[in-house]
Amino acid sequence: MAKLPKAPSRRGFLKASAATVAGTVVAGQASAAGDPLITEVQDWASATGDGVDATPYGMPIEFEGDVIRRNVPWLTADPISSINFTPIHALEGTITPQGCAFERHHSGAIELRKEDYRLMINGLVDTPLVFTYADLERFPRENHVYFCECAANTGMEWAGAQLNGVQFTHGMIHNMEYTGVPLRTLLEEAGLGAAGDLKDKWVYVEGADASSNGRSIPMEKALDDVLVAFKANGEALRMEHGYPVRLVVPGWEGNMWVKWIRRIEVADMAVESREETSKYTDVLADGTARKWTWVMDAKSVITSPSPQSPISHAPGPLVISGLAWSGHGQITRVDVSKDGGITWETARLGKQGDAKALTRFYLDTQWDGSEMLLQARAMDETGYVQPTKAALREVRGENSVYHNNCIQTWHVKANGEAENVEVS
């Protein structure tokens, strides 16, 4: 098994990168005798490396040991009922590797064998059914890429700039290619005649772990694009993401993507379980709370440069890279500002993203070495434009906790370091 080195501390990392800025000018140039990495025979160019039997299942090379999930211990009472964060500052493209995709558990990640897995459909159906894992593999299946974002992503930033790293401010998100059976197929297998008029019906979905996390989903969504998924990025789901089977609820808050899903009940009303009343409801300034705020609105963030990914080179060509997504559909455009929102340039989309999936954007620019206040602003196919934090606060106040999709600002200094700030 590959050995992972201890991740460098943040402060150590920043020091090292600041030093690199100064050093880079030299490193790229040949000294009089030439670059020894080129002029001298290196060990790896002479001796042999690992054989094909060394690593039956590979981990990232040790030099990438700091690209890991991290948590914020003060956020929750116990790591068993908590969340960690995807290292989005260090990832590229759009697909999140499972091994570093954020985890959120309410009673810990459980070990559930495929052989012990059962899925029950009951309630207002013609025939209540029980499926095994093997049964699920016999239904026609589909592949789709979707983002999964916790409703609390960026939730610590409502009252002000708080956490200094895009991993912590925006890392409750991952994006995977799922393989699964449409929930509609399974509901139709059980028969929806008994449900009568489907217009006001719900499905209640529940997990097999000790938290028994359960959420109510309106029938229209259940019959639209919800997947009962058993693979992600081509391989089995990881334990921490609900192995062997989880629900995928495209564009809607991550808490509804019930892991280890064991039961689907067709009902004539929402259950109003703990996770859809006391949690995942959004308190407004006057104390009223919004409930059933399921859709994740359009949002974007610059992943590099950012506090954990400072500029480590001299002025000149600079790639500004970021992610954008919308629970309402496709991202159609992302604008970037270097001056805190006075002027904007339209960024280049890495490629047109799928609906309800991450889209990568780039601004290929020239950095003159001066300070920048970097911002990104996403637009989706409905014409929705990502709001500023001030605009969000004006409508919601500061106590919503969830659904903070505000424009983020990074203050990039002349030495290349970046800080999470708020601007006027």
Partner 1 sequence: MLKFLKLTAATVLLASPVFADGFGLGRPALPEEIAAWDVDVMPDGRGLPEGGGNALDGEEIFAEVCASCHGDFAEGVDNWPVLAGGFDTLADKDPVKTVGSYWPHLSTVWDYVHRSMPFGSAQTLSDDEVYAIVAYILYSNDMVDEEFELTHENFNDFAMYNTEGFIVDDRGAAEYSKWRAAPCMSNCKDSVEITMRASVIDVTPDEGGDAEMTSEDHAAVEPEEAAVVATLDPELVKSGEAVFKKCKACHQVGEGAKNRSGPQLNGVVGRSFAAVDGFKYSKVFQDAAAEGRIWDDAAMTEFLTKPRAYLKGTKMGFAGLKKPDDITAVIAYLKSFGE
Question: Footprint of partner 1 on residues 289-348 (CB under 8 A)?
Answer: 289-295, 297, 307-308, 335, 339-344
Cα separations (Å) of 226 from 120, 149, 203, 249, 363?
A: 16, 15, 11, 5, 34
Q: Residue 303 CB, nearest distance to partner 1 (Å)?
A: 16
Q: Residue 349 CB, nearest distance to partner 1 (Å)?
A: 16
| Interface with partner 1, residue 250, by CB under 8 A | no
Q: How far apart are CA 298 and CA 335, in angstroms?
A: 13
Residue 40 vs 268, nearer CB to partner 1? 268
Cβ atoms of residues 110 and 237 within 8 Å: no
Q: Which residue do the tokens 């495929």 mark?
A: 114
Cβ atoms of residues 305 and 320 within 8 Å: yes
| Interface with partner 1, residue 55, by CB under 8 A | no
Residue 214 vs 242, nearer CB to partner 1? 214
Q: How far apart are CA 173 and CA 147, in angstroms?
A: 7
- 241: CB partners within 8 A, 6+ apart: 98, 101, 103, 232, 259
- Which helix (DSSP H) or strand (DSSP E) does residue 388 occupy? none
Q: Residue 364 — φ and ψ, nearest 5°? A: -90, 110
Q: Residue 40 CB, nearest distance to partner 1 (Å)?
A: 30
Residue 39 vs 278, nearer CB to partner 1? 278
Cβ atoms of residues 377 and 344 within 8 Å: yes
| Interface with partner 1, residue 413, by CB under 8 A | no
Q: Residue 144 CB, nearest distance to partner 1 (Å)?
A: 17
Please identify which residue in 287, 316, 352, 366 interacts with partner 1, judged by CB under 8 A: 287
Q: How far apart are CA 244 and CA 228, in angstroms?
A: 10
Q: Residue 75 CB, nearest distance to partner 1 (Å)?
A: 8
Residue 69 vs 231, nearer CB to partner 1? 69
Q: How far apart are CA 220 and CA 16, in angstroms?
A: 53
Q: How far apart are CA 227 and CA 376, in angstroms?
A: 31
Please choose, out of 19-27, 231-239, 258-266, 356-364, the segment that lies near partner 1 by the rule CB under 8 A. 258-266
Residue 94 vs 402, nearer CB to partner 1? 402
Residue 94 vs 213, nearer CB to partner 1? 213
Cα separations (Å) of 351 from 323, 327, 328, 358, 361?
A: 12, 18, 18, 10, 8
| Interface with partner 1, residue 381, by CB under 8 A | no
Residue 129 vs 236, nearer CB to partner 1? 129
Please identify which residue in 114, 231, 238, 262 interacts with partner 1, judged by CB under 8 A: 262
- 130: CB partners within 8 A, 6+ apart: 118, 119, 120
Please identify which residue in 18, 198, 314, 349 interacts with partner 1, judged by CB under 8 A: 198
Q: Is the four-CA dihedral 281, 186, 145, 64 of positive or negative sign?
A: positive
Residue 94 vs 361, nearer CB to partner 1? 361
Judged by CB under 8 A, the chain residues 393 through 412 that form the site for partner 1 are: 395, 398-399, 411
Q: Residue 82 CB, nearest distance to partner 1 (Å)?
A: 10
Cα separations (Å) of 331 from 88, 101, 302, 328?
A: 18, 22, 15, 9
Please choose, out of 30-38, 40-48, 276-284, 357-365, the segment that lies near partner 1 by the rule CB under 8 A. 276-284
Which two three-digit tokens encode residue 151? 């409703």
Please choose, out of 42-50, 91-99, 101-109, 252-260, the segment that lies near partner 1 by the rule CB under 8 A. 101-109
Residue 39 vs 277, nearer CB to partner 1? 277
Q: Mask: binding to partner 1, 218-247, rule CB under 8 A, as x and -?
A: -xx--xx-----------------------
Q: How far apart are CA 311 and CA 338, in angstroms?
A: 14
Judged by CB under 8 A, the chain residues 59 through 98 that form the site for partner 1 are: 65-66, 68-74, 76-78, 80-81
| Interface with partner 1, residue 129, by CB under 8 A | yes
Judged by CB under 8 A, the chain residues 2 through 31 that form the site for partner 1 are: 2-13
| Interface with partner 1, residue 196, by CB under 8 A | no
